């Protein structure tokens, strides 16, 4: 009795003794069968299933099939299921009624499972089950509709997932197999082309949005402008294209507005031209230019108010000419450059001139040079008679001491830093010159650096002052004593042709 066992059929009223399932004679590997089933609905897996049979007596095979049906082992596990046993029985007795009926019942169950798997989106499972169905009922009329429904579901999923390679493979497969109607294949081909174009449009729209966010608006190969041109070439009327045109136009206009506020007319016109290239109407450009002019005026007014506020504070605190960038003279120079018609400028200039005359008078009476303060006082509107009066206070001293002004040519400059060309002047290709006066101290350092004359005014002043402050001289000795020496120099700002 070794190796034998009993099957008990509930409700049958009897038990039957059977042999253990024999080994498969031509079994295909399950993994290979599954892969083939997902690639072709019911194709290679059906062939693999048909090659799988077990040996044994027909009655034994039918008994095992009954038990498998009762336990709902219709196609699983491999090597011990109803489909296998019914098919193995028919291989020996092709007209066996019970086996044929069993296969029909298995096919009915599998057809329902295929429908359920497709409805629930388990398409790989549906493909495997369909392969089993076709093995159980190769001539069943339900095979065609099930295959068509599975193919449609697979195509829909591939398109929804954006898996266009998979969709193209399914389309080729349907064409080669002839399992789908020509009009259905045509619809799939159209859907695939449409989805591919939609994906391309979305990709380009995303690149445009990213480049706008990163500020890469017009760079040569990787810019929002380049990607928009590609998008317009294939989908000019799409909503994504129109939205991208709107967003890029807005980015151009923001650049134009920023340039206008900064007073850079060249950059402003450049970005307006880019906006024109995207179809912005001349009338709208005109409206925008008026808005930009207003914004520029507001910015100038804000800068003027700030310069006035800082100049008044510097006057209160006695910062008349030093430090260079934080003095009353520097703030008034900024105001003179940005808003020369400002109503407060003359009064503040006269106040600065009066304070400089007071300081110059004290310096002359102390036997010190006051040339720098007197020059600045003249620049800011001091009465020439008042300036001359201060100068005359020092006349007797000047005759009794060394004429230091004549010693300027004897100075030896140890370090000279060239001036930085102002970016705004560089952009607009403006040239000019600045005449400065300063005093070389006994340690060789320039102090009281100020502008005497500038053409055009206010453009290169600060750059010239900053450069001179970094110069260093060898102290000038007269009779063994270091002397302070007034210096006048002219600095030229010129662009190469």
- pLDDT (tens digit per residue) in 437-465: 999 998 999 999 999 999 999 999 999 99
C-beta separation of 383 from 351 below 8 A: no
Task: Give the model's pLDDT for residue 18.
Answer: 36
Instruction: State residue 405's pLDDT score.
Output: 61
Residue 471 CB contacts under 8 Å (≥ 6 apart), including other chains: 413, 415, 416, 417, 446
Most confident of 63-67, 165-169, 202-206: 63-67
Tens digits of residue pLDDT in 26-58: 333 333 333 444 445 544 444 444 457 999 999
For 264, which DSSP code?
Answer: -
The pLDDT, as a whole number, for residue 230 is: 86
What pLDDT, on the 0 to 100 scale, is given for residue 51?
53
Helix (H) or strand (E) holding 239: helix 239-261
List of residues 6+ apart from 10 with CB closer than 8 A: 70
| Residue 267, number of CB atoms within 10 A of its CB | 16
Residue 472: both structure tokens together: 């260093």
Beta carbons of 120 and 94 less than 8 angstroms apart: no
At residue 404, the pLDDT reads 59
The pLDDT, as a whole number, for residue 13 is 31
Nearest to 62 by CA among 85, 96, 92: 85
HSE-CB at 307 with a 13 A cutoff on CA atoms is: 24
**What was the pLDDT predicted at 364?**
83
In the predicted structure, residue 248 carries a pLDDT above the cut 80? yes
Strand partners, 474: 412
CB distance 491 to 497 below 8 Å: no
- Residue 144 vs residue 188, higher pLDDT: 188
φ/ψ (deg, to 5) at 179: -80, -15
Q: Which of 456, 452, 461 is nearest to 429 (CA)?
A: 456
| Superfamily of the domain at 402-497 | TonB (3.30.2420.10)
CA gap 127, 150 in Å, rounded: 7
What pLDDT is attached to residue 193?
A: 87
pLDDT tens sequence across 382-440: 989 888 888 877 654 433 345 556 778 889 999 988 899 999 998 999 999 999 999 99
Average pLDDT of 316-338? Answer: 85
Percent of the chain with pLDDT over 90: 30
Structural tokens at position 241: 């294209």
Strand partners, 24: 54
Q: Is the pLDDT of residue 101 over 90?
A: yes
Please report the pLDDT score of residue 389 as a whole number: 84
Q: Mapping DSSP to helix (H, G, I), strand (E, B) and coil, where does residue 455 land?
A: strand
Structure-block tokens of residue 114: 């295929």
Mean predicted confidence (pLDDT) in 340-362: 88
Asked whether 417 and 427 are in contact (CB, 8 A), the reply is no
Q: What is the mean predicted confidence (pLDDT) over 474-480?
A: 83
- For helices 143-161 and 164-177, the axis angle rounded to 10 degrees is 160
Handedness of CA 131, 136, 139, 141 (dihedral sign): negative
* Phi and psi torsions of 18, nearest 5°: -135, 165
| pLDDT band at 62; cut points 50, 70, 90 | very high
What's the sign of the alpha-carbon dihedral 421, 423, 426, 431?
A: negative
pLDDT on residue 488:
93
Domain with CATH 3.30.2420.10 in the chain: 402-497
**Side-chain half-sphere of 329: how many Cα atoms within 13 Å?**
29
Check pLDDT > 70 for residue 309.
yes
Q: Which residues contact 146 (CB under 8 A, 6 or more apart)?
A: 41, 42, 111, 114, 115, 130, 133
User: How large is the average pLDDT for residues 180-190?
Assistant: 85
**Nearest C-alpha neighbor of 370 from the set 381, 380, 361:** 361
The 3-state DSSP class for residue 492 equals: strand
pLDDT value at 25 more than 50:
no
Average pLDDT over residues 205-211: 93
Measured in Å, how far apart are the chain's first and last C-alpha atoms? 112
In contact, 365 and 393? CB cutoff 8 Å: yes
Share of the chain above pLDDT 70, in %: 87
472 vs 416: CA distance, rounded Å: 7
CA gap 89, 102 in Å, rounded: 11
Of 487, 430, 437, residue with least CA distance to 458: 430
DSSP state of 410: G
3-class SS of residue 142: coil
pLDDT at 181: 81
Structure confidence at residue 395 (pLDDT): 57
**More confident call, 85 vs 120:** 85
Q: What is the mean pLDDT of the chain?
A: 82
| pLDDT 10s digits, 254-282 | 888 888 888 788 988 888 888 888 888 88
329: number of Cβ within 10 Å: 25
Please check the confidence at residue 206 and state whether its pLDDT lies above 80. Answer: yes
């Amino acid at each position: 009795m070794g190796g034998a066992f009993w099957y008990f059929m509930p409700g049958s009223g009897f038990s039957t003794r059977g042999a253990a399932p024999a080994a498969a004679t031509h079994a295909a590997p399950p993994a290979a069968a599954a892969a083939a089933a997902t690639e072709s609905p019911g194709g290679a897996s059906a062939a693999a299933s048909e090659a799988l049979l077990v040996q044994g007596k027909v009655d034994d095979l039918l008994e095992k099939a009954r038990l498998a049906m009762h336990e709902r082992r219709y196609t699983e596990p491999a090597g011990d299921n109803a489909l296998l046993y019914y098919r193995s029985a028919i291989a020996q007795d092709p007209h066996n009624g019970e086996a044929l009926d069993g296969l029909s019942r298995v096919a009915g169950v599998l057809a329902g499972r295929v429908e359920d798997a497709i409805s629930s989106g388990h398409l790989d499972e549906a493909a495997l089950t369909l392969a089993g169905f076709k093995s159980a009922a190769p001539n069943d009329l339900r095979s065609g509709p099930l295959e068509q429904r599975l193919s449609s579901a697979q195509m829909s999923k591939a398109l929804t997932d954006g898996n266009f390679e998979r969709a193209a493979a399914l389309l080729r497969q349907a064409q080669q197999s002839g399992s789908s109607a020509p009009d259905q294949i045509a619809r799939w081909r159209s859907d695939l082309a449409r989805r591919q174009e939609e994906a391309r449009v979305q990709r380009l729209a995303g690149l445009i949005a990213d480049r706008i966010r990163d500020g890469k608006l017009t760079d040569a190969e990787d810019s929002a402008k380049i990607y928009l041109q590609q998008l317009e070439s294939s989908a000019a009327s799409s909503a994504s294209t129109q939205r991208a045109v709107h967003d890029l136009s807005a980015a151009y206009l923001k650049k134009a507005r920023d340039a206008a506020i900064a007073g850079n007319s060249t950059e402003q016109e450049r970005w307006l031209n880019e906006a024109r290239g995207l179809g912005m109407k001349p009338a709208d450009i005109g409206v925008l230019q008026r808005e930009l002019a207003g914004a520029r005026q507001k910015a100038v007014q804000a800068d003027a108010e700030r310069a006035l506020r800082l100049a008044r504070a510097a006057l209160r605190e006695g910062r008349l000419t030093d430090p260079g960038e934080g003095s009353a003279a520097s703030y008034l120079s900024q105001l003179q450059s940005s808003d020369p018609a400002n109503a407060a400028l003359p009064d503040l200039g006269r106040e600065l001139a009066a304070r400089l005359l007071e300081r110059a008078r004290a310096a002359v009476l102390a036997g010190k040079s006051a040339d720098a303060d007197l020059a600045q006082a003249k620049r800011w509107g001091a009465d020439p008679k008042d300036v001359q009066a201060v100068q005359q206070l020092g006349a007797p001293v000047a005759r009794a001491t060394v004429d230091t002004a004549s010693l300027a040519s004897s100075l030896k400059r140890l370090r000279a830093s060239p001036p930085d060309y102002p970016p705004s002047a560089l952009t607009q290709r403006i040239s000019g010159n600045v005449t400065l006066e300063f005093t070389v101290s006994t340690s060789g350092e320039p102090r009281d650096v100020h502008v005497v004359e500038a053409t055009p005014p206010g453009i290169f002043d600060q750059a010239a002052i900053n450069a001179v402050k970094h110069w260093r001289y060898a102290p000038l000795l007269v009779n063994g004593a270091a002397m302070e020496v007034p210096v006048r120099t002219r600095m030229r700002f010129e662009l190469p042709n």
